[in-house]
A and B are shown apart, each in its own frame.
Chain A
Amino acid sequence: MTVPETILEQEVAQGWQRVNPLAILVSAVQGMRQAVLPAVAALFGARSLDNTVLVVGVIAAAVLVLVTLGAWLSWRRLRYLVGPEDIRVEQGLISRSARSVPYERIQDVSLEQGLLPRLLGLVEVRFETGAGGKDELKLAYVSMDEGERLRDVVREQRTLAPVAAAASESEAQPEAEGRLLFAMGPGRLLLFGLFEFSLIVFAVLAGATQQLEFLLPFDLWDVDQWEGRLSGTGWEAWLTGLGMAAQLVGVLIALASLVVLGLVTGVARTVLRDWQFRLDLTSRGFRRRRGLLTKTDVVMPAARVQAIIVSTGFVRRLWGWRGLSFVSLAQDAGSANHDVAPFAQESEIAPIVEVAGFTLPDDSVDWHRPSRAYRFDRALFTALPLVMVGIVLLFIEQVAWAAPLVWVLAVLLALRQHFLWRFERHAVDRRQILSRRGWLSPRLVAASRIKLHSVEIAQGPLGRWRGYADLRFGLAGGALAFEGLLLEEAEAMREAVLTSIASVDFSALPR
């Protein structure tokens, strides 16, 4: 590719580069694709005009020119520099943004190709830093060769660092079968499926009826028609002809089939997802295989595990069943957490947790609770609106009977805050931050102290008045926050955690 004259010589001397000019073509085509719908709308509006052909031509030409101009401008205003220590990208038409990413921060470089870029021999280069999603630095588009070169440059720079060298060594080792940590046989899977009771099939059915409603011989949403049918004017008259007992039996059968359907759905979904679930510890980390139709095989390096989550449900909890998942940077089938032992007893979970470098809390943990003031305020603010609603209801004759019900609900919600105060707690031990949330189905999160990225103390007006604050941690791939702590406690915890974060640099973290 010849260097376009538009690049100033001075820029070139400094090493600044532009992405491949063919990128203008790609983004222009993409822009055209987006402009199709508005253009059709405009045409639709213009169809009553006389010179339709002329109007169409003018609109098309205008869109073409605008989109191409925009594509050219954004190409013109984007430049990047492969420096000795970092990669810099400057872009933006009116607002300029200049970004610099040091090599040590780049986890990997991925190359992506859509259809059109592929035809033109272009790639999109993504520098994966863990920022996630649209915040990732990317260059769209450069030639295949340039993409490969950028990847090599980054890899080369990274292997200069000792940590990265160690990582690539372990990658070079041959894949061993590893040690079995956890597996689920068909029996366990069936039991697990029963607890995964799900009525999602009704949501699917509702969606389907909405899409395919026009195929039905009657109007599904016409209440009058239904009433007519049930009052015994049509062929359905036999329904009303049945006795009270028969109608009751009918309702019971309907409920029972609902339960059966829910259980079957749960088992089917679980079997499809977790068939032959197997977790091994290999030289490269945790390796998980599962799935009946779509088999997946995921490897998670142990050091990439940011936090562990032990969760349960309020029924399965009675038999001691728990689920263990890992919070990690990578995504797992759309969710940020990786299931590693979705249905297991505590004795099975503990060894996995230990291998991942975490410890489950024991009796020695010094648990803390949010401030009483916070819980009191929460109870007040959830109950108060309902109490008011109840008072309003009292004055409306037809619904006055509902007022006590609303008040009972208000009391229950306030009581819930009391139980949350008793059950929700947090702790900081030497290596981890622990959080226990929920009342009937508690959820335990343990995050490694040194793997946190930022700490924030947030206070609303109420919190400032009452002296409590939320403590929020920047955790890669997950959320971790303690709400309603006493301000002094929040500050002390932040200081303690920050000291352990700052003592280890990100790039020195084991990966």
Chain B
Amino acid sequence: MSRSLHDEGLTPLDPAYVTVMRVQALLMALPFVIAALVGEVSGRLFAGAFLVPVVLVALVLALMVPLRRYHARGYDMGEDRLRVVRGLLFRRDTVVPFGRVQHLDVEQGPLERAFGIARLVLHTAGTHNASVVLPGLAHARAVEMREAIRQHVKREIG
């Protein structure tokens, strides 16, 4: 049922984004793994009864899920519009015409900065989808896209 990004003519995100998502997932899983370790050391449970499933889930979350999410996301920079597709289970396919962009942000968290990744945020005046976020772009590409959209907006006005 699901169509691949390539079929739809979508551009994939920067591969480094997979690493960013993996590190994020690891950081999320860390407290649970530590808790499971503590439970293991306390010795009240069967050996590995808790630790093994937790570590397995953490591994799946950190290794497989980011890759699948990466493959489920993409964008298409059109002549007069930007299309952003995301979501593994809940798929969202949003199109914002450049003519409706209110303002643009390029955002970076500390982790994203370490890997040279940035998010491009398009703000519209609509109440729904007031800001459309395109994560996982190489920083230079994000800035380039921001400038392109800005230029485009101007040309239409002039």
Contacts and interface: CB of A to CB of B under 8 A. Distances in A.
Interface of A: 85-86, 94-102, 104-105, 129-132, 135, 137, 161, 329, 336, 452-461, 464-465, 467, 472-481, 494, 498, 501-502, 504-508
B157 A104 contact: yes
B69 interface: no
A404 B101 CA distance: 55
Contacts of B123: 129, 131, 135
B123 to A, nearest CB: 5
Contact of A498 (B2, B97, B146, B154): B97
Contact of A102 (B106, B107, B153): B153
B156 to A, nearest CB: 4
Interface stretch (B17-25, B45-53, B54-62, B86-94): B86-94
Contacts of A131: 102-103, 123-125, 130-131
7 contacts: A95-B109, A96-B108, A137-B103, A454-B100, A474-B124, A502-B98, A506-B125
Contacts of A104: 153, 157
A502 B80 contact: yes
Contacts of A465: 1
Contact of A502 (B97, B127, B131, B150): B97
Contacts of A329: 125
B80 to A, nearest CB: 5
Given A99-B103, A501-B100, A452 B90 contact: no
Given A102-B153, A455-B95, A460-B90, A474 B128 contact: yes
A254 to B, nearest CB: 44
B102 A129 contact: yes
Contacts of B105: 97-99
A167 to B, nearest CB: 15
B110 interface: yes
Given A99-B103, A102-B103, A464-B2, A453 B110 contact: no
Interface of B: 1-2, 80-81, 89-110, 123-132, 146, 150, 153-154, 156-157
Contacts of B89: 460-461
Contact of B127 (A129, A464, A467, A476): A476
A456 B133 CA distance: 13
Contacts, number: 153
B125 A472 contact: no
Contact of B125 (A453, A480, A502): A453
Given A129-B125, A459-B90, A464-B91, A105 B103 contact: yes
Contacts of B153: 102, 104, 505
B125 A95 contact: no
A293 B99 CA distance: 43
Given A129-B103, A465-B1, A459 B91 contact: yes
Given A454-B96, A461-B90, A506-B100, A474 B2 contact: no
A458 B93 contact: yes
B97 A501 contact: yes
B94 A132 contact: no
A456 B129 contact: yes
A474 B102 contact: no
A461 B105 CA distance: 31
